[in-house]
Chains A and B, each alone.
Chain A
Amino acid sequence: MRITALVWLTSALVGFASLGQEILWVRIAGFANGNSPQTFALVLSLFLLGIALGSLAGKRACENGSQTAIRTFGASALALSGIIDIAAPWLIMQAADGIFLTPLMSVLIVATAASKAALFPVVHHLGGQLGRTDTGRSIARVYFANIVGATLAPLLIGFWWLDLMTSQSLMLALGAAMLVMGGMLAPHGSWRVTLGLSGMAVLAATILMPRQTALLETLATPSSEASIGFLLENRHGIIHTLIRPGEDEAVYGGNVYDGKINIDLIDNSNRIDRVYLLAALHPQPRRVLVIGLSGGSWTRVLAAFPSVERVDVVEINPGYIPLIRERPEVSPLLRDTRVHIHSDDGRRWLRRNEAERFDLIVMNTTFHWRALITNLLSSDFLHLARNHLNPGGILAFNATGSPDALKTAATVFLFAYRWKDSNFIYAGDHNFTQIDPKLARQRVIEVLANLHINHAHDSEHVSRTVDTLLSKGWVSVEDEERLAGRPLETITDQNMITEYRYGRVVWW
């Protein structure tokens, strides 16, 4: 291969592998930590630091070296990169439940980035034409090849290959590609053969082996008591469930608790009473919007409300559907012709469906400190949701402990309260807390009957549970402010306070 073509190819592959690996690191570190915005910032910083250090190493190699010495350096850096990429998942698994996980992952992120970035000056040096009239263009062509590679990474890895392979397999595949590339760049024949063959062997093994999930399983299992019930990694993210003895199956999205598979009010292991309460608060909801399907328990209960004619569900990750299909408690909702599931971003779906109006909008929102959650908690979004409510409609959502979420709801709606002893906020433009207890009780019992739950428990137990449900009080924004001990603030798209100022203290 001509040196120019070889340089362009190396430049493109290094760009591809660098951005591809950044995508994988964000995913793996986010899974280990829970996808806070600080995790993303830290991974990005470490990765960029690695690129800076690698560039300096490449610069030094170019300063005094001959063409052969520079090519040898480039091949060595690629070989090292391949070895680190291949070893990284195994090393993380060894440190998964110890204090060394964070420092190890940090070192690996810097090392994987640096070993690839060391090639950046090398390929420009080998491909650039100094002293000619096209010096700038010759440099730009090598840089352009690098960016073409970097552009292909999100398209191929982020958009396509993550549906076919796990992040662990892709780490191995990238490592194998680095070894092969190292072999191609090496000036000596023996290097070429050794690196090329070992890289191809690893690549073949990665493709031929079944989907490798050991890394995610290790990171997802907090104790020996828990076992994985379901695990799916696709381009949209990672969904898994944990089964613990004597407990309902817990669902996790991106390794963050997302609820449990349970529709039984009496069991109430997932505080499903917060959905049943809506049957008491709204006399006759016909149209319901659920933003976030997760394990399907909430949607299953809402679809059992006697007056409901249609339920629209907006879920960004279609991977929850196979999970629901396998769980008999919730699978009937997939056969319910009144339930319509849309694979979309909740905010975008509302904006694109301006004419749709609902009696209930329900969001069991994820933790308030997670990246981009502002898009569902801000006053900007709550105004949008309010515009989609019918007169008498109610918005219910999980504040996950953010007192500012109640303040925000209270600035948008005429009435907004947190249900006592829960994180749930209910908001509307009429005083929905004024209910006829007898009728409300009847409606809740009807939901239980539709789900055939009242038959599974003795009637006295059911009656006591419903009485408890209806007797709990409400927390006003003034009460919330007293409890918080600070002036509450309105969450906006601009200030993102639940993610940053009042976000999670632990960053990693």
Chain B
Amino acid sequence: MRKTQDALIPTLSMLFLISGACALIYQVAWQRILFASFGADLESVTIVVAAFMLGLGSGALAGGWLADRYSSRTLLLFALAEGGVGTFGVISPKLLRWAGEATIHTSLPTIAAVNFALVLLPTLLMGATLPILVADLARRWTNIGKATGALYASNTLGATIGALLVGFVLFYWLTLDMAIYLAALGNFSVAAGVSVLLFRYPNDNRSAP
């Protein structure tokens, strides 16, 4: 069991790091699309950031519930969440621009509601991943603080890499939409990686103490 975890946990941390990098690419790219559609004034900036945060918060609660309800299926839940984010990523450029066109003449509360609805699904899935994985790792390590610190560090380190990639590499050579598709590819790769883990360690995933 110990040997299995030695291989599983670093792999999971690496996958969570990639997930963090993809999340940051989405955040910057989606904000640019939303600012171009809804305006780049303070009201729009606040709405977009608050919508992201509310989505992450709702996702956190949902993730906690799922982690308890399906405690033996945490890796599968993580893979599904990443696949979901990637799928939304693929359709997101067209969807966000379409929503921008459709709501340009509406009031600020409507725009806020539309923004929230648009980013709700992906941010809900992103927000759910941390409690799901922390709950799983905390049971393995019997230490919540240690699990939280390790996973949050790898996720935010990934986000750091994502921010640097967007600001200094991706937008120099790729278009806005291409950067989003690259992030979606990242999510699908993470989902595939977790699926491989599921096949390699089926018992480990189901027998968390």
- A236 contacts B41, CB within 8 Å? yes
Contact with B along A206-229 (1 / 0, CB 8 A): 000000000000000000000000
> How far does the alpha carbon of A499 sit from the alpha carbon of B177 in the complex, in Å?
16
- A154 contacts B138, CB within 8 Å? no
B77 to chain A, nearest CB (A): 10
B119 to chain A, nearest CB (A): 13
- A139 contacts B144, CB within 8 Å? yes
> How far does the alpha carbon of A351 sit from the alpha carbon of B103 in the complex, in Å?
11
- B167 contacts A45, CB within 8 Å? yes
Q: Is B11 an interface residue (CB 8 A)?
A: no
Q: Is A49 an interface residue (CB 8 A)?
A: yes
Q: Is B199 an interface residue (CB 8 A)?
A: no
Q: Is A230 an interface residue (CB 8 A)?
A: no
- A144 contacts B175, CB within 8 Å? no
A365 to chain B, nearest CB (A): 14
The interface residues of chain A lying within 8 Å CB-to-CB of B28 are 41
> How far does the alpha carbon of A128 sit from the alpha carbon of B137 in the complex, in Å?
13
> How far does the alpha carbon of A501 sit from the alpha carbon of B139 in the complex, in Å?
47
> How far does the alpha carbon of A125 sit from the alpha carbon of B152 in the complex, in Å?
13
> How far does the alpha carbon of A151 sit from the alpha carbon of B71 in the complex, in Å?
29
Q: Is B164 an interface residue (CB 8 A)?
A: yes
Do A158 and B45 form a contact, CB below 8 Å, given A120-B152, A136-B71, A139-B131? yes
Contact with B along A132-155 (1 / 0, CB 8 A): 011111111101100110110011
Q: Is B40 an interface residue (CB 8 A)?
A: yes
- B64 contacts A375, CB within 8 Å? no
> How far does the alpha carbon of A496 sit from the alpha carbon of B31 in the complex, in Å?
14
The interface residues of chain A lying within 8 Å CB-to-CB of B65 are 136-137, 140
Select A139's contact among B44, B135, B168, B173, beta carbons within 8 Å.
B135
- B53 contacts A352, CB within 8 Å? no
- A148 contacts B68, CB within 8 Å? no
Q: Is A122 an interface residue (CB 8 A)?
A: yes
Q: Is A280 an interface residue (CB 8 A)?
A: no
B67 to chain A, nearest CB (A): 3
- B164 contacts A59, CB within 8 Å? no
CB-CB nearest in chain B for A380: B36
CB-CB nearest in chain B for A49: B160
In the complex, identify which listed stretch (B55-63, B81-89, B184-192) lies at the interface while the others stay far away. Answer: B55-63
- B163 contacts A133, CB within 8 Å? no
Q: Is A51 an interface residue (CB 8 A)?
A: yes
B92 to chain A, nearest CB (A): 14
> How far does the alpha carbon of A45 sit from the alpha carbon of B163 in the complex, in Å?
6
Do A496 and B145 form a contact, CB below 8 Å, given A59-B153, A159-B46, A347-B39? no
Select A147's contact among B60, B143, B173, beta carbons within 8 Å.
B60
B177 to chain A, nearest CB (A): 6
CB-CB nearest in chain B for A48: B160
- A345 contacts B41, CB within 8 Å? yes
- A143 contacts B131, CB within 8 Å? yes
Q: Is A63 an interface residue (CB 8 A)?
A: yes
Select B46's contact among A52, A141, A154, A495, beta carbons within 8 Å.
A154
> How far does the alpha carbon of A448 sit from the alpha carbon of B120 in the complex, in Å?
56
- B149 contacts A55, CB within 8 Å? yes
Q: Is B50 an interface residue (CB 8 A)?
A: yes
A65 to chain B, nearest CB (A): 8
- A61 contacts B64, CB within 8 Å? no
Q: Is B159 an interface residue (CB 8 A)?
A: yes
> How far does the alpha carbon of A141 sit from the alpha carbon of B146 in the complex, in Å?
17
The interface residues of chain B lying within 8 Å CB-to-CB of A61 are 145
CB-CB nearest in chain B for A40: B167
- A56 contacts B153, CB within 8 Å? yes
The interface residues of chain B lying within 8 Å CB-to-CB of A40 are 167
Q: Is A327 an interface residue (CB 8 A)?
A: no
Q: Is A493 an interface residue (CB 8 A)?
A: yes
- B144 contacts A124, CB within 8 Å? yes
- B42 contacts A124, CB within 8 Å? no
A127 to chain B, nearest CB (A): 8
Pick from A53, A348, A375 the residue with the most CB of B within 10 Å. A348
- B146 contacts A62, CB within 8 Å? yes
Select B138's contact among A45, A70, A117, A130, beta carbons within 8 Å.
A130
Q: Is B156 an interface residue (CB 8 A)?
A: yes
A318 to chain B, nearest CB (A): 11
- A135 contacts B135, CB within 8 Å? yes
> How far does the alpha carbon of A348 sit from the alpha carbon of B60 in the complex, in Å?
34
- B175 contacts A494, CB within 8 Å? yes
Do A352 and B105 form a contact, CB below 8 Å, given A59-B146, A125-B143, A347-B36? yes
> How far does the alpha carbon of A58 sit from the alpha carbon of B144 in the complex, in Å?
11
Contact with B along A25-60 (1 / 0, CB 8 A): 000000000000110111011001101110111111
The interface residues of chain B lying within 8 Å CB-to-CB of A493 are 32, 36, 176
B149 to chain A, nearest CB (A): 2
B134 to chain A, nearest CB (A): 5
- A140 contacts B63, CB within 8 Å? yes
CB-CB nearest in chain B for A43: B163
> How far does the alpha carbon of A120 sit from the alpha carbon of B156 in the complex, in Å?
12
The interface residues of chain A lying within 8 Å CB-to-CB of B148 are 55, 58-59, 62, 120-121, 124-125, 128, 139
List chain A positions with a Cβ less than 8 A from chain B. Answer: 19, 37-38, 40-42, 44-45, 48-49, 51-53, 55-63, 70, 117, 120-122, 124-126, 128, 130-131, 133-141, 143-144, 147-148, 150-151, 154-155, 158-159, 235-236, 316, 344-345, 347-348, 351-352, 372, 375, 380, 492-496, 499-501, 507
**Extra contacts besides A58-B149, A62-B146 (8): CB < 8 Å:** A49-B160, A125-B146, A128-B145, A128-B148, A139-B67, A140-B64, A151-B50, A375-B36
A-B residue pairs in contact (CB < 8 Å), sample of 10: A49-B156, A52-B160, A63-B145, A125-B144, A131-B142, A139-B67, A141-B64, A344-B39, A372-B32, A372-B40
List chain B positions with a Cβ less than 8 A from chain A. Answer: 24, 28, 32, 35-36, 38-46, 49-50, 53-54, 56-57, 60-68, 71, 104-105, 127, 130-132, 134-135, 138-139, 142-146, 148-150, 152-154, 156-157, 159-160, 163-164, 166-168, 171-173, 175-177
